[in-house]
Amino acid sequence: MGKVVGIDLGTTNSLVAYVRDGVPHVIRDASGDALVPSVVSLGEDGTFFVGREAQRRLLTAPSRSVYSVKRFMGRGIDDVRDEAALLPFNVGGQPGGVVRIGLDDREFTPPEISAFVLRELKQRAEDDFREQGEFDFEVDRAVITVPAYFNDAQRTATRDAGRLAGLEVLRIVNEPTAASLAYGLDQRDRGIIAVYDLGGGTFDISILKVEDGVFQVLATNGDTHLGGDDIDRLLVELVLAEIGPGGSKEQHANGGSKEQDPPYVSQPGIVGRVLLSRPAEEIQAIRKAVIEAKLDLTEAEEAEIRVETLAYRRPITRAEFEQLIRPLVERTIQPVRQALADAGLEPSEVDEAVLVGGSTRVPLVRRLVSELFGRTPHSELNPDEVVALGAAVQADILISGRREMLLLDVTPLSLGIETMGGVVSKIILRNSTIPASGREMFTTGVDNQTSVDIHVLQGERELADDCRSLARFKLRGIPPMPAGLPRIEVRFQIDANGILSVAASELRTNIAQTIEVKPSYGLTDQEVERMLIESFEHAQADVDARLLIEARNEAESVIHATEKSLRRPNFAEIAAVDLQAGEQERIEAALDAVKQAMAGSDRDAIRERTHALNHATQHLAEVMMNRGVREALAGKNVKDV
């Protein structure tokens, strides 16, 4: 068995942590950095960059670099069209299907992109274990965190990403709950805790009751599309509005050409293309500049947005910044109130408020949380790292069987099925402790009907159209009977990951029904399998590409060394004195052969001919070395005299 880690797969950054001797540690790189930017970039030679390197490429190769992919997990193109318009990479997909991201001529689903980040984290952890001298350093299992308010499709997409990265996902844990575990390690007290988690792309509020080491979530709420990204976007829009379309500030002032909104051209079946009014490089440069200003405003009262490439500079005060983002931050108030109401608590009954997520560093956010709960929130643990630490603790609980602590989480959204007239009948209510189950009876409407269609939804609204479609099921193999006679019991089970499974049987005959699942915004098992195979194939292709590069480099250096010898001014003399007849011709032929092979991409040919050239020049190399030694000795002798 390999090692087990906890992973915080974030919108902006991701981290990996593990427990050693009962204490969770975040794994850092050589420079002490724990954050791996959740950015994936496809290099021009077909290799992939992940993390910092990919983040740098956001500026130089924006259309080949994907960020914030978490926002697209388990979603359809119709859900994300608006925000996709501001992204410099291609986002598309078929209406009603999963989002697809185009990089060069290849297409990726969000789980595939996330898998690159997970593989990087896995690699980082394995390197760390190897450095510690662990014999068994392979990481094969992980606990991965998700926003508490993620729905079934988003959770399943996250689990798929883990599988694609070669990780068995032991558990999907909610981020605020994981954070509370990390806090609970130090403070073994009891009481009501509110975890306010504002990350790069998502907002969660969870209300927990802690007693006897049991961390019981009473209620959770949130917004899976609210976070630091949105703050950045407001600032980018501010800058874009000021510099105007397609030019500098001056051009805009002159009236210029007011461009229409960027057209969104969707090509069904292949990747849709988002056309931006400005080059992607500029958007990314602006984005980088506003993020720096935003970070500065955490401490400073005034900062400057500076985009060198556009000769754009603009001071921004904290007051101005807060005025701009206030509506966004205030969108967190309603979910907090709802969670408290669902938990049956008043804000004053909350004993501790805990801040999680990088965006809780924004002073306005801190003030708001203090006001909401009437107390200063906790932020002793690094808000970027606390979720990964909690994930590591949960992973340790799972494999060690330690029972001091137990997480009891809830399902964030009600689960229901569509009934007559498009009304949703709720089967498992939101904030039910998981695992949770529910059952519903169905029958047939027509004589001898052998199948029934069932539409499963998640959400709080009354009508199916207003809820999130999770899947459509077809119950097959119902024994032929008069209409209304079959009694088909469908059992819904939400497991400890918050993921749904369904089973059914006809009670009169006790025949189990086969269920055909068509996830509305997810991948089927077959698709995940296919992607796994493809990723292995691509992994092989990536290895091939790397080996070819290495062969080329080696050939280059041998060619260079040979040509250097051949070009020596006294080569004719050397050849005449030391080389055998025809030796020079053989060397030149071998050299040409390598150069020819270099024109192609046959790695074996390049290596063979490089080897042959090495062999052909072996004698020449010895001659050269002897001469060198003689010259050196001669020089020494002269000196010594």
The catalytic residues are 8, 70, 175, 197
146 and 174 Cβ atoms separated by less than 8 Å: yes
Site string for other proteins, 10-39 (x = CB under 8 A): ------------------------------
What region does 428 belong to: left with phi over 0, alpha with psi -120 to 50, or beta?
beta
Does 496 sit near other proteins (CB under 8 A)?
Answer: yes
Q: Which residue type, as a one-letter code, is found at position 134? A: E
Cα–Cα distances (Å) from 200 to 38, 66, 178, 203, 507, in that order, read 11, 15, 17, 9, 48
Cβ 406 to other proteins shortest distance, Å:
6
Q: Among residues 298 and 419, whose Cβ is nearest to other proteins?
A: 419
CB of 53 to other proteins, least distance (A): 36
Q: What is the DSSP letter of 434?
A: S
Q: Residues 61, 49: contact at Cβ < 8 Å?
A: no
Q: Which span sits near other proteins by CB under 8 A: 209-217, 302-310, 372-380, 607-615?
A: 209-217
One of 136, 212, 261, 585 touching other proteins (CB under 8 A) = 212
Rounded Cα gap, residues 536 and 524, in angstroms: 19
Q: Which of 94, 123, 216, 338 binds other proteins (CB under 8 A)?
A: 216
**Binding segment for other proteins among 276-284, 434-442, 447-455, 612-620 (CB under 8 A)?**
434-442
Using alpha carbons only, give the angle 533, 165, 21 rounded to the nearest 5 degrees. Answer: 145
Interface residue with other proteins, options 85, 86, 240, 398 (CB under 8 A): 398
261's tokens: 């909104």
Is there binding between residue 408 and other proteins (CB under 8 A)?
yes
Site string for other proteins, 134-173 (x = CB under 8 A): ------------------------------------xx--
Contact between 85 and other proteins per CB under 8 A: no
Closest C-alpha to 13, from 99, 121, 102: 121
Task: Kindly tell me which of 496 and 566 has the beta carbon lying closer to other proteins.
Answer: 496
Residue 401 binding other proteins, by CB under 8 A = yes
| Binding region for other proteins (CB under 8 A) out of 152-160, 435-443, 503-511, 611-619 | 435-443
| Distance in Å, CB of 397 to other proteins, minimum | 6
Q: Report d(CA 117, CA 108) in Å as an integer.
A: 14
* Closest CB to other proteins among residues 456, 598: 456
User: What does the per-residue mask of binding to other proteins show for 221-260, with x meaning CB under 8 A?
Assistant: ----------------------------------------
Alpha carbon distance 370, 401 (integer Å): 37
Query: Given the complex with other proteins, which of 369 and 407 has the nearer CB atom?
Result: 407
User: In the numeric block, which tokens belong to residue 352?
Assistant: 């501790």
Among 309, 433, 514, 557, binds other proteins (CB under 8 A): 433
d(CA 350, CA 208): 9
Angle ∠(18,20,25) on CA atoms, nearest 5: 45
C-alpha span between 209 and 578 (Å, rounded): 88
Of 169, 141, 155, 128, the C-alpha closest to 5 is 141
155-163, 211-219, 239-247, 347-355 -> range binding other proteins (CB under 8 A): 211-219
Alpha-carbon separation of residue 40 from 101, 121, 231, 502, 511 (angstroms): 11, 13, 22, 35, 48
Using rule CB under 8 A, residue 569 touches other proteins? no
| 443 is a contact residue toward other proteins (CB under 8 A) | no
Which CB, 100 or 155, lies closer to other proteins? 155
- For other proteins, which residue of 406, 507, 621, 632 counts as binding (CB under 8 A)? 406
Question: Are β-strands 352-356 and 191-198 bridged in parallel, bridged antiparallel, or unpaired?
Answer: parallel
CA 490 to each of CA 37, 247, 439, 448, 504: distance values in angstroms, whole numbers, following the listed order: 43, 60, 6, 19, 4
Please give the DSSP secondary-structure letter assigned to residue 198.
Answer: E
Quick one: DSSP state of residue 136?
A: -
- Minimal distance, residue 495 CB to other proteins, in Å: 6
Instruction: Note whether 512 binds other proteins by CB under 8 A.
Output: no
**Number of residues binding to other proteins, judged by CB under 8 A:** 24
**At which residue do the structure tokens 């130090």 appear?**
186
Candidate segments 29-37, 433-441, 578-586, 608-616, binder of other proteins by CB under 8 A: 433-441
Q: Is 505 in the site for other proteins (CB under 8 A)?
A: no
Enter the DSSP assignment of 247: S
Alpha carbons 249 and 491: distance in angstroms, whole number: 62
Q: HSE (CB half, 13 Å, CA atoms) of 601?
A: 7
Torsion angle in degrees (nearest 10) through CA of 554, 559, 562, 568: -130
Q: Least Å distance between CB 208 and other proteins?
A: 13
**Interface pick for other proteins out of 42, 368, 436, 481 (rule CB under 8 A):** 436
Q: Is-contact 77 256, C-beta < 8 A?
A: no
Q: How far is the CB of 136 from other proteins (least distance, A)?
A: 17
Residue in 316, 372, 381, 407 binding other proteins, rule: CB under 8 A? 407
3-state DSSP assignment of residue 481: coil
CA–CA dist 117, 161 (Å, integer): 9
495 binds other proteins (CB under 8 A): yes
**CB 347 to other proteins: min, Å:** 22
Pairing of strands 36-37, 214-223: unpaired
Whether the CB-CB separation of 492 and 500 falls below 8 Å is answered with: yes
Q: Which stretch binds other proteins (CB under 8 A): 200-208, 273-281, 428-436, 614-622?
A: 428-436
Identified binder of other proteins from the candidate list 179, 434, 531, 623, rule CB under 8 A: 434
Q: Which is nearer to other proteins, 211 or 604 (CB)?
A: 211
Task: Give CA–CA dist 398/26, Å, rounded.
Answer: 18
345 near other proteins (CB under 8 A):
no
* Least distance between other proteins and beta carbon 494 (Å): 8
**Please, which residue, 496 or 548, has the CB nearer to other proteins?**
496
Q: In whole angstroms, what is the distance from residue 520 CA to residue 535 CA?
A: 24
- Tell me if 214 contacts other proteins by CB under 8 A: yes
Q: How many CB atoms lie within 10 A of CB 136?
A: 8
Binding site for other proteins (CB under 8 A): 170-171, 211-212, 214, 216, 397-399, 401, 403, 406-408, 423, 432-437, 493, 495-496
